[in-house]
Amino acid sequence: MTLHGPECLPGGRVRFSVWAPRANEVVLALEDGRRISLAARKYGYHSVVVSEAGPGTLYRYLLDGKGPYPDPASRSQPSGVEGPSCVVDLPKPSCTSWRGIPLSSYVICEIHVGTFSDRSSFAAIEDELEWLSKAGYSAIELMPVGEFPGSRNWGYDGVFPFAAQSTYGGPYGLASLVAAAHQRSIAVVLDVVYNHIGPESSALEHYGPYLSGSYSTPWGQPPNLDGPGSDAVRAFFIENACYWVKEVGVDGLRLDAVHAIIDPTASPFLSELSRTIHALGRHLGRIVTVVGESSANDPLLSKPVEAGGTGLDGQWNDDFHHAAHVAVTNDRSRWFADYDGLADLAKAVRHGFVMEGRYSIPRGRRHGLPSPTPPGDSLVIFAQNHDQIGNAGLGNRLTSIVDLQAQFPLAALLLLSPFVPLRFMGEEYGETAPFAYFTSHTDPDLIRAVRQGRAAEVGSDSELQLLENLDRSAWLTAMLDPQDPSTFTRCIPDRSLSSSGVHSELLKWQRDLCRLRQSLPCLGSLEPARTQTAIDPNIGAITIRRAAEPYLDAVEVVIVCVLSPKEAVISSPLIAGNDLVVLLCHGAGGLTQGAVLPGRELQLGPWGVAVLEASSRGDRR
């Protein structure tokens, strides 16, 4: 039985349930004028079964005569955050054969629904699923879609966790997208926010202590996970996670900023959520994954509970991004000050975390925890994502900061790594549009605070170099106003770029890399412990050698990259003594696919990359 929100029953009946411990009387206020009292249950719950209130019924609640207020667990807010809630009855999944794919098979495209195209809708993504599949993606990850004020937001200011954003197409649009993705064997991951509730237009506090009065976050009030009434609050958010998986059909959840989830209890919320979701997946006969975003570099997050961990399937690893950024830009500002370019990039490729108890300059303390090399499918890595682009200040992608040719070796390092790769929408063809922070708040004080907060963000050295004048006034002029609608529209990618020039070459490059990742066991088995690296800082070269268990395949693959605008001759112990077959190459002079060359040294042009098979074709099984 649903504890939070409406549940459609046979015969056109609906059970309305709400947790409202602050109210002695809860009255269901239907838009047709009916007023129906809910029966008080244990622990502050109230419920009633109503006839003739099926899908599409609009309603709110009166609390001790005050209101009416939208349902905290509303499944749909068709008129926005201030309007009535709406009863929803989603269709059963149409792709009954879909059971999901393991996290190790994910190649993820992170998508912001609003700026994916000028249509700003789930339907627009659904129309491009075939394109995304042909680009090599096996999974899409949607930034948060819980109803937020207005129509322009990253999604992290959501105030109705169960209600898919109405301007995107609401719950039916999202369910349709998920079903269509499964028809094309694409997994769908949803970014969910359990560390805070958005700062504007939340109805939660009218009903009960959903939010903590003891803690705070920079983004909004956190949920009450340890105070009086916290059992029901935990149930609210865990039921939300189950709703996305069971009713909407998503294959995984990305938990936003889990390091900011405040829970000092002996039964951690994250472990409880993970156990529940995994049990639900087993019950449904589907593979369902839970991945956390964390800046803590804590390997325990993705270890099983029985091994002393939190029980998540994986976590994001910022270290790969930071080391790669330093390697291609030589930017040492802000958090990049902790990273030694190529050396740390090599460590990120073969081991995962770089900061493992090392002193962090911007933090002024040690950061991370030493650990053995983790399983490859326990870390999600990226060269760009929404945070690293949008929170840098100007919202510039790497394509606006370094030579577009740098995307070739970066793509190879990412997509042929022994970890789970994620790319931000448009990265597959070198999109140049920015991804800045944008909002459509209505509270003047909040608008002012957001503008001031973003203006205080100091960009990286590589971004500041784009300005003709490095003084404060130039910085503020270059900043995009989050509240200005033009900031939002500037962030919409131009997918037509992918049909010509270098952008077209980049798209084909990703497709070819993904094909290799899928076809060769040494690339698809995600075994960082069987990965070797070598670097030459003098020429900006990094060499990676990937191997699988011998019983899977004797073939090994060597990836040689130049992360520099200069030509380089690479002589590495990882290519010495082998006859190498060229599988893929870019900027490699006279090299051609299929060529056999002696394994002594390799000459590559600026930003060149070669992917080589370390055996003759005759030896391939």
Q: Of the residues 191, 293, 338, 344, which is catalytic?
A: 293
How many CB atoms are located within 10 Å of the residue 5 CB?
Answer: 23
Q: Give the whole-angstrom CA distance, residue 298 versus residue 517.
A: 28
Is residue 383 within 8 A of residue 318, CB to CB? The reply is no
What is the rounded distance in angstroms from the CA atom of residue 530 to the CA atom of residue 350?
A: 8
Give the separation between CA 32 and CA 53, rounded to whole angstroms: 10
Q: Which of 126, 191, 251, 256 is catalytic?
A: 256
C-alpha 355/C-alpha 332 separation (Å) is 16
**Contact indicator for 425, 116 with CB cutoff of 8 Å:** yes
Helix (H, G, I), strand (E, B) or coil at 178: helix
Residues 6 or more apart whose Cβ sits within 8 Å of residue 101: 138, 139, 185, 187, 251, 287
C-alpha 277/C-alpha 242 separation (Å) is 6
Residues 41 and 47: beta-carbon distance below 8 Å: yes
DSSP 447-498: HHHHHHHHHTPPPPHHHHTTSS--SHHHHHHHSPPTTSHHHHHHTS--GGGG
Annotation says 619 is catalytic: no
The CB-side HSE value for 234 (13 A sphere, CA atoms) comes to 20
Q: Is 52 left (phi over 0), alpha (psi -120 to 50) or beta?
A: left
Is position 256 annotated as part of the catalytic site?
Answer: yes
Q: What is the spatial distance between Cα 257 and Cα 451, in angstroms, rounded to a whole number?
A: 22
For residues 599 and 580, is the Cβ–Cβ distance under 8 A?
A: yes
Catalogue the E-assigned strands of 317-355: none
How much is the CA Rg of the chain, to the nearest whole Å? 25
Element (H, E) at 366: strand 365-367
Q: Omega of the bond prior to 78 within 30 degrees of 0, cis?
A: no
> Alpha-carbon distance 283 to 312, whole Å?
18
Instruction: Please check whether residue 148 is in contact with residue 159, taking contact to mean a CB–CB distance below 8 angstroms.
Output: yes
Tokens of 556: 């090994």
Q: Which of 533, 530, 571 is nearest to 550 (CA)?
A: 530
Dist CA 296 CA 319 (whole Å): 11
Residue 364 CB neighbours (<10 A): 8
CA 503 to chain CA mean position, Å? 24
Tokens of 237: 């958010």
CA 168 to chain CA centroid, Å, is: 18
Which residues are designated catalytic?
256, 293
